[in-house]
Amino acid sequence: MTTLITGGSGFVGLNLAEFLLGRGEEVVLFGPSPPPAAATAALHRLPGRLSMIAGDVCSAADLDAALAAHPVTRIAHGAAVTADRAREERAAREIFSVNVLGTIEVLEAALRHRVRRVVQLGTGSIFGAAGRASAVLDEVSSPVFPETMYGISKFAAERTGLRYRGTRGLNLTVARLGTVFGRWEYATGVRDTLSLPLQLLGVAEAGGAAVVHAQAPDDWVYSQDVARGLAALLDLPASPEGVYHLSAGMRWSVADWCARLKERFPAFSYRLTDDLDECTIGRNNAALRSPMSIERIRRDAGYAPAFPPARAFEDFLAWHAAARRDGWA
């Protein structure tokens, strides 16, 4: 079984590749540049077969070449520009070109090459200002009101994918991700805001001080759980529903995370504030939203998060320490 991952050199793509390769499967990473050398070396040590193809999701020719070169049976479409305000102002066309038009090219290529299964990565950012309208966000009943160019373009891409599912016979499922953090996260050049846990770890390791917004987003999900959930959706011959939330299904605690870091790095200090102007970290992170329900993916794909906060914290720090010894920045 061969899975092509668009955006395969990115944070989530690397986690999914690691999981699938660990099961002995064949994975093709597709994107404009290869992963960092340390990640490539680590993936090559796994039992599966890894290939990497340089290409642009906006290029039908690049996608056709990749799909013709490998017996791809499944696509995980994760290529996206995760833009902050500054990129919105200078590169709005690029954001929509990759996030919407690139998605169309991937879906058309999947149809041309008769790919059996497509899982398209969505985002909880589509909820925008409506993200606190209910205590738990549901796939069907919760209102969607994206505000950022990223959220708007990803919602357009999601609806496009579902249209292909409904009218073109494409075996597609959308997985809306919560706020992901964990292994293999780095500044890719198209991901403008790193996760709050990673930013806080950097400050803590340096013995610095952090002022964090008390209303920072806290619907976190560990990257290992995301990889497992995406694999579970890919493994389904077809999904009964078009959209699934893939998150931890709970609120995390920024204060608890900081306290854990303080215990591990005594020189680290932190303070929570309601004044965004005082914040030294996380000012560009997404707005606070309610946790996303995971009952649908639990029911249909057997997904259950395996990394609650304490376990995620320990794995996160242990992985970073080991990865640095192997050359990870």
By C-alpha distance, which of 329, 175, 209 is closest to 279?
A: 209
Checking if the pLDDT of 192 tops 80, the result is: no
pLDDT tens-digit profile of 62-121? 999 999 999 999 999 999 998 888 899 999 999 999 999 999 999 999 999 999 999 999
CA distance linking residue 150 with residue 152, whole number of Å: 6
CATH class of 2-192+220-250+289-307: alpha beta
pLDDT tens-digit profile of 207-236? 999 999 888 888 999 999 999 999 999 999
CA distances from 292 to 30, 138, 284 (A): 29, 6, 21
DSSP state, 35?
P
pTM above 0.85, yes or no: yes
CA distance linking residue 71 with residue 3, whole number of Å: 9
**For range 267-293, the mean pLDDT:** 87
How many Cβ atoms sit within 10 Å of the Cβ of residue 214? 14
CA distance linking residue 25 with residue 321, whole number of Å: 27
Q: Are 64 and 113 in contact (CB under 8 A)?
A: yes
What is the pLDDT, as a whole number, of residue 215? 82
Domain edges within the chain: 2-192+220-250+289-307
What is the pLDDT, as a whole number, of residue 190? 73
CA distances from 285 to 123, 184, 217 (A): 14, 19, 7
What is the pLDDT, as a whole number, of residue 134? 85
User: Residue 121 — φ and ψ, nearest 5°?
Assistant: -80, 125
Q: Dump the DSSP string for 120-174.
A: EEEEGGGGBGGGGSSSSB-TTTS--B--SHHHHHHHHHHHHHHHHHHHS---EEE
Q: What is the largest CA-CA distance in the chain?
A: 58
**For range 24-38, the mean pLDDT:** 96
Of 20-29, 141-150, 187-196, 317-326, the least confident: 187-196
CA distance linking residue 318 with residue 312, whole number of Å: 10
Average pLDDT over the chain reads 95
